[in-house]
């Protein structure tokens, strides 16, 4: 061992020693404590998506928290009072499954993991404000989940209904629509089935328009991709509801269509086979038997079958007829599974000529196809391809000759006048199913009374805590384990006092995360979930950082909650997260890391080998934050090398702290100020990799200045190395702190402040202008940065190489952009 920590200038950089050295110092200095009274700095709320305590931190956490930290630390250096909190999203199935396996209370596993993660975050030097921590599984937190549930219930936004719901046979619980991905359970990839159940819902559909329209405020501040995904998910469509008279039925049937202009082309009607309407129409039609068989057959089909793209159309003619309101045509009514019972009215008018699905059905069932829009495409009758473009209306009575837009307007107003229909909107978004048949979640605070019905648990009895897990069988069996806790379940009705039962379901854990960002400022408030004063100080979140996996789950639900709370007068903003950054994933050799794939990289190993700073730096420098980091492309040892180079500089500086930088050598000063300016701009625009590159450039230039330029005593060298330490403090806090000390300063470098850039130093004293002929570079000249267009043009034309190249040519035009370029256009 040749390491000698007393011989500072030549000792090797020892990251392990430096890490151990600074943690206790930071614990004492507390550079990241937010919300001290009378703090005059303007606020910034930087938020990382809180983790689920599934074990120790992994590579993905390391990336996410490294990025969030760069932003938080940057704003602190820029003089803001930054709140950068953390908590744990601690309810959920993995804990429950682990508990079943280990035969113990899920809270043991959960709190153990939280302790492990918390210790790792401290070692990883996350700039969190540790005074605001909470866990969603703490009764003190979920008490407010229950309180909010009751607020929604009171407003009719939390309600129960019977419906065919998504059921995951693996998790043995129901799922919200958002939690079913391509027919599979988002959590365990089991094929989801349908089950008819009575469940709790939040009425997010009431907010569909506002969730959609308020996205205008997020434009340019959230990734376009997330906005697009939410738009698609909400799926607003505009069209018309049209009512059709049904033979031998008193009530007409209303259908929803986005193409009322094609009404004359409707040749049959289709109702969802699993709808009540279909059953009713089948009754007495003489085809009851076949209809029942058909329903039986489609019930056996899973979601996966339904999703198959080339699935042939099937259906049953119900032996009934509807009358087309515009031309009196008799339309046969069919039942099929290609029409969805829970979208629109569960019934459609089929226009096979201009809708591919209807055409496929018509061809399968030998039903007529009538073209009513002349689009110039080939006849769907012969091609089997529906024509969906704009065109001229034909075979459509008064609409003949109109284009699509005019025809829609005309038919809508005609239908409205005749009382046969009106324009309408529909959404793909469904209400949020929030009840779950599992133990480790927030109990739903409702008591079912045989006399009074749904009775809220009185708020002074909150939190309604989970019954003790001991003695309960947590194994999934399709109904909530809470049902077996008889002492807990059986209560007196708070209203009338008769024997009643508690609701035994627990809430979707996405409820917990839909408002947690409001809790941080008031995390110790015992009388309300959050105080208006705290919200006014800190909210909305200025910068949210997290994975794109939550694009339409957590981020949509949180926006919904914010709008509900806004309506309740509890907050005065409409959107919770002003800016959003989605970091990519950490992958290995192009695919997600997993034990089974054998490409798992352990964070603890990487930290052991290369140190915290080098891993943080590698994550940040690997590429743009939103791109995936392929660990096989990353060189942590390269990061270690760079950090050593930077660290070594701090031992070479021989001038004293406080020396007058303005006396320093000019060329290095220019590089320093340019680096500060560019890094600043890069961080603001999330190009952290570019910011790091600027620091590397400055390190190289400073090395050169020390070895073969201004020399170690020049004030410019100190200025440069101090700037390096400050910029590096965003990414490599241990190294930066160590450098700061070697430069003769007190901790913490995190609070040193971003050096003020001198604009005069950003202007070089000479720049190279390019002289082109017809866009091709012919020569270069060094000129003053303040040269005028005319001067530059004259100098360019005087250059011998240009004179020669221009001989015999006619100049038709000269474009000059001083001080960068002259382009001479000639006719050859």
Nearer to RNA, 119 or 815 (CB): 815
Q: What residues does 454 pair with on adjacent strands?
A: 448
Span from 193-201, 488-496, 665-673, 814-822 in contact with RNA (CB under 7 A):
814-822
Give yes or no for residue 378 binding RNA (CB under 7 A).
Answer: no
- The answer to the question of residue 232 lying near RNA (CB under 7 A) is yes
Per CB under 7 A, the segment of 437-445, 514-522, 751-759, 810-818 that binds RNA is 810-818
H helices then E strands: how many in the chain?
27, 32
Q: How far is the CB of 520 from RNA (least distance, A)?
A: 29
- Least distance from C-beta 159 to RNA, angstroms? 20
| Distance between CA atoms of residues 27 and 13, nearest Å | 23
Backbone CA torsion sign across 689, 691, 694, 695: negative
Distance CA 108, CA 814 (A): 77
**543/769 Cα distance (integer angstroms):** 41
Binding-site member from 184, 751, 757, 770 for RNA (CB under 7 A):
770
Peptide bond before residue 819 is cis, with ω within 30 degrees of 0: yes
Pick 350 or 371: Cβ nearer RNA: 350
CB 661 within 8 A of CB 669: yes
Site for RNA contains 5 (CB under 7 A): no
State in angstroms the smallest separation of the CB of 213 from RNA. 17
- Whose Cβ is closer to RNA: residue 58's or residue 694's? 694
* Pair of tokens at residue 438: 């599992």
Question: Judged by CB under 7 A, which stretch of 35-43, 194-202, 663-671, 699-707 contacts RNA?
Answer: 699-707
User: In DSSP terms, which residues pair with 583 in a beta bridge?
Assistant: 547
User: Which residue, 160 or 357, has its beta carbon nearer to RNA?
Assistant: 357
DSSP 359-370: HHHHHHHT----
The DSSP call for residue 494 is T
Site string (291-310) toward RNA, x via CB under 7 A: ---------------xx-x-
Among 638, 711, 744, 755, interactor with RNA by CB under 7 A: 638
What is the closest distance, in whole angstroms, from the C-beta atom of residue 217 to RNA in the complex? Answer: 19
Q: Could you say which residues in the range 120-159 bind RNA, by CB under 7 A?
A: none
Least distance in angstroms from the C-beta of 334 to RNA: 12
Residue of 233, 334, 560, 740 that binds RNA (CB under 7 A) = 233
Phi, psi of 448 (to 5 degrees): -95, 115
Restricted to residues 249-288, the positions that interact with RNA (CB under 7 A) are 255-259, 272
| Shortest Å, Cβ 588 to RNA | 13
**Binding segment (CB under 7 A) for RNA, from list 37-45, 339-347, 718-726, 792-800:** 339-347
CB of 361 to RNA, least distance (A): 8
Residue closer to RNA by CB (options 233, 520) is 233
- Indicate whether 364 belongs to the interface with RNA (CB under 7 A): no
Are 199 and 174 contacting, i.e. CB atoms less than 8 angstroms apart? yes
Closest CB to RNA among 86 and 227? Answer: 227
Residues 674-693 binding RNA (CB under 7 A) are: 687, 689-690, 692-693
Would you say 211 or 444 has its CB closer to RNA?
Answer: 211
Give the β-pairing of 543-547 and 580-583.
Answer: parallel
Distance of CA 772 to the CA centre of its chain: 47
Segment contacting RNA (CB under 7 A): 335-343, 446-454, 518-526, 746-754?
Answer: 335-343
Span interacting with RNA, options 319-327, 416-424, 767-775, 789-797, rule CB under 7 A:
767-775
554 binds RNA (CB under 7 A): no
- Distance between CA atoms of residues 469 and 796, nearest Å: 85
Interface of this chain with RNA, residues 47 to 106, rule: CB under 7 A: none
Q: How far is the CB of 631 from RNA (least distance, A)?
A: 10
Asked whether the beta carbons of 634 and 689 are under 8 A apart, the reply is no
Torsion sign across C-alpha atoms 457, 463, 468, 469: positive
> If binding is defined by CB under 7 A, does position 239 make contact with RNA?
yes
What minimum distance in Å lies between the beta carbon of 150 and RNA? 31
In terms of CB distance, is 693 or 757 closer to RNA? 693
Q: How far is the CB of 121 from RNA (least distance, A)?
A: 26
Q: Between the CA of residue 340 and those of 124, 162, 282, 300, 345, what are the distances in Å? A: 51, 16, 17, 16, 9
Q: 246 vs 692, which CB is nearer to RNA?
A: 692
Distance CA 616, CA 611 (A): 9
623 or 747: CB nearest RNA: 623
- Least distance in angstroms from the C-beta of 516 to RNA: 23
Residue 492 binding RNA, by CB under 7 A: no
10 binds RNA (CB under 7 A): no
Distance CA 677, CA 798 (A): 36
Contact by Cβ (8 Å): 734, 19: yes
The percent of the chain in helix, strand and coil, each rounded to the nearest 5, is: 45, 20, 40
413, 236 Cβ separation under 8 angstroms: no
Closest CB to RNA among residues 199, 241:
241
Select the span of 38-46, 113-121, 598-606, 620-628 touching RNA (CB under 7 A): 620-628
- CA torsion sign for 558, 560, 562, 564 is negative
Q: CA-to-CA distance for 223 and 579, rounded, in angstroms?
A: 9
Task: Count CA atoms closer than 13 A to 446's CA, side-chain side.
Answer: 24
Helix axes 733-742, 715-728, angle to 10 degrees: 150
With CB under 7 A as the rule, give the number of residues binding RNA: 79
Tell me the closest approach of the beta carbon of residue 385 to RNA, in angstroms.
Answer: 10
**Interacting positions 343-362 with RNA (CB under 7 A):** 343-344, 346, 348, 355, 357, 360
Cα–Cα distance list, 507 to 142, 429, 433, 445, 504 (Å): 10, 20, 9, 10, 10
The neighbouring-strand residues paired with 257 are: 240
Binding to RNA by residue 644, rule CB under 7 A?
yes
Helix (H) or strand (E) holding 565: helix 554-567
Rounded to whole angstroms, the Cα distance separating 782 from 767 reads 5
User: Cβ atoms within 10 A of the Cβ of 59, count?
Assistant: 21
**Both structure tokens of 165:** 């719901």
Taking CB under 7 A as the binding criterion, the range among 103-111, 197-205, 213-221, 643-651 that sits at the site for RNA is 643-651
Query: Tokens 């998506």, residue?
Result: 49
Binding residue for RNA, selected from 292, 340, 764, 798, defined by CB under 7 A: 340
Residue in 767, 799, 805, 806 binding RNA, rule: CB under 7 A: 767
Judged by CB under 7 A, the residue of 36, 196, 366, 813 near RNA is 813
Q: Assess 641 for contact with RNA (CB under 7 A).
A: yes
DSSP β-bridge partners for residue 771? 779, 822
Choosing from 193, 205, 237, 279, the residue that interacts with RNA (CB under 7 A) is: 237
Query: Least distance from C-beta 251 to RNA, angstroms?
Result: 19
Single out the residue of 182, 656, 766, 794 in contact with RNA (rule: CB under 7 A). Answer: 182
Indicate the SS3 state at residue 403. Answer: coil
Residues between 574 and 613 that touch RNA (CB under 7 A)? none
Q: Does 451 bind RNA (CB under 7 A)?
A: no
Q: Does 338 sit near RNA (CB under 7 A)?
A: yes
* Contacts to RNA from residues 704-723, by CB under 7 A: 704, 707
- Closer residue to RNA in complex, CB, 92/315: 315
Query: For 688, how many CA atoms within 13 A lie in the half-sphere containing its CB?
Result: 32
Q: Could you say whether residue 645 binds RNA (CB under 7 A)?
A: yes
Question: Measured between alpha carbons, how far is residue 431 from residues 156, 157, 163, 207, 568 in Å?
Answer: 13, 10, 11, 10, 20
Closest listed residue to residue 435, CA positions, set 198, 233, 206: 198
Selected from 635, 667, 784, 795, the binder of RNA by CB under 7 A is 635
């Amino acid at each position: 061992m040749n390491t000698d920590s007393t011989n500072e200038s030549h000792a090797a950089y020892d990251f392990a020693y430096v890490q151990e050295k600074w943690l206790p110092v930071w614990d004492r200095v507390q550079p990241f404590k937010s919300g001290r009274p009378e703090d005059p700095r303007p606020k910034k709320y930087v938020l990382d998506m809180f983790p689920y305590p599934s074990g120790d931190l992994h590579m993905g956490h390391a990336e996410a928290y490294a990025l969030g930290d760069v932003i938080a630390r940057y704003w602190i250096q820029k003089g803001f009072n930054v709140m950068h909190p953390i908590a744990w999203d601690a309810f959920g199935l993995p804990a429950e499954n682990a508990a079943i396996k280990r035969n113990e209370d899920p809270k043991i596993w959960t709190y153990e993991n939280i302790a492990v993660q918390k210790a790792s975050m401290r070692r990883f030097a996350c700039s969190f404000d540790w005074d605001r921590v909470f866990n969603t599984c703490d009764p003190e937190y979920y008490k407010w989940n229950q309180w909010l549930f009751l607020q929604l219930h009171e407003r009719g936004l939390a309600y129960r209904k019977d419906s065919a719901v998504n059921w995951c046979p693996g998790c043995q619980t129901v799922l919200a629509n958002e939690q079913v991905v391509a027919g599979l359970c988002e959590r365990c990839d089991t094929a989801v089935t349908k089950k008819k159940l009575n469940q709790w819902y939040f009425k997010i559909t009431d907010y569909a328009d506002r969730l959609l329209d308020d996205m205008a405020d997020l434009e340019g501040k959230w990734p376009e991709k997330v906005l697009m995904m939410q738009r698609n998910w909400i799926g607003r469509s505009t069209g018309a509801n049209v009512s059709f008279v049904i033979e031998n039925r008193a009530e007409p049937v209303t259908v929803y269509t986005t193409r009322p202009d094609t009404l004359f082309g409707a040749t049959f009607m289709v109702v969802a086979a699993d709808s009540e309407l279909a059953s009713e129409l089948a009754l007495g039609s003489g085809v009851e038997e076949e209809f029942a068989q058909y329903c039986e057959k489609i019930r056996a089909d899973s979601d996966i079958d339904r999703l198959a793209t080339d699935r042939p159309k099937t259906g049953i003619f119900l032996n009934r007829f509807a009358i087309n309101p515009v031309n009196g045509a008799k339309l046969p009514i069919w039942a099929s599974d290609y029409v969805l019972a829970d979208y629109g009215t569960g019934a459609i008018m089929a226009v096979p000529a201009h809708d591919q699905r209807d055409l496929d059905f018509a061809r399968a069932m030998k039903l007529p196809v009538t073209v009513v829009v002349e689009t110039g495409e080939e006849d769907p009758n012969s091609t089997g391809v529906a024509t969906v473009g704009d065109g001229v209306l034909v075979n459509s009575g008064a609409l003949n000759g109109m284009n699509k837009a005019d025809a829609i307007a005309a038919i809508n107003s005609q239908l409205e006048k005749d009382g046969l229909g009106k324009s309408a909107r529909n959404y793909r978004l469904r209400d949020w199913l929030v009840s779950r048949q599992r133990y480790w979640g927030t109990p739903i605070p409702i008591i079912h009374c045989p006399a009074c019905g749904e009775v809220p648990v009185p708020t002074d009895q909150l939190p309604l805590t989970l019954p003790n897990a001991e003695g309960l069988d947590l194994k999934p069996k399709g109904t909530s384990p809470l049902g077996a806790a008889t002492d807990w379940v059986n209560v007196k009705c708070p209203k009338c006092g008769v024997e009643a039962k508690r609701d035994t379901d627990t809430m979707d854990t996405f409820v917990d995360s839909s408002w947690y960002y409001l809790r941080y400022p008031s995390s110790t408030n015992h009388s309300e979930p959050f105080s208006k004063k705290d919200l006014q100080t800190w909210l909305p979140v200025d910068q949210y950082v997290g994975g794109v996996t939550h694009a339409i789950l957590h981020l949509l639900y949180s926006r919904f909650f914010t709008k509900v709370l806004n309506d309740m007068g509890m907050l005065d903003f409409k959107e919770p997260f002003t800016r959003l950054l989605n970091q990519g994933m950490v992958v290995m050799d192009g695919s997600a890391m997993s034990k089974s794939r054998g490409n798992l990289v352990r964070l603890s190993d990487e930290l052991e080998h290369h140190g915290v700073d080098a891993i943080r730096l590698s994550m940040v420098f690997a590429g743009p934050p939103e791109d995936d980091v392929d660990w096989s492309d990353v060189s942590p040892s390269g990061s270690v090398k760079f950090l050593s180079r930077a660290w070594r500089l701090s031992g070479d500086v021989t001038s004293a702290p406080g020396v007058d930088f303005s006396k320093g050598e000019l060329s290095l000063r220019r590089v320093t100020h340019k680096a500060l300016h560019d890094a600043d701009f890069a961080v603001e625009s999330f190009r952290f990799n570019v910011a790091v590159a600027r620091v590397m450039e400055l390190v190289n230039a400073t090395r050169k200045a020390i070895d073969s330029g201004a020399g170690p005593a020049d004030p410019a060298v100190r200025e440069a190395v101090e700037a390096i330490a400050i910029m590096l403090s965003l990414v490599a806090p241990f190294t930066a702190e160590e450098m700061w000390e070697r430069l003769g300063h007190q901790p913490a470098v995190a609070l040193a402040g971003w050096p003020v850039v001198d604009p005069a130093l950003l202007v070089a004293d000479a720049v190279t202008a390019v002289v082109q002929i017809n866009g091709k570079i012919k020569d270069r000249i060094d000129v003053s940065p303040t040269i005028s267009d005319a001067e530059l043009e004259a100098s360019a034309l005087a250059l011998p190489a240009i004179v020669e190249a221009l001989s015999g040519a006619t100049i038709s035009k000269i474009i000059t952009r001083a001080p960068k370029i002259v382009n001479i256009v000639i006719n050859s």
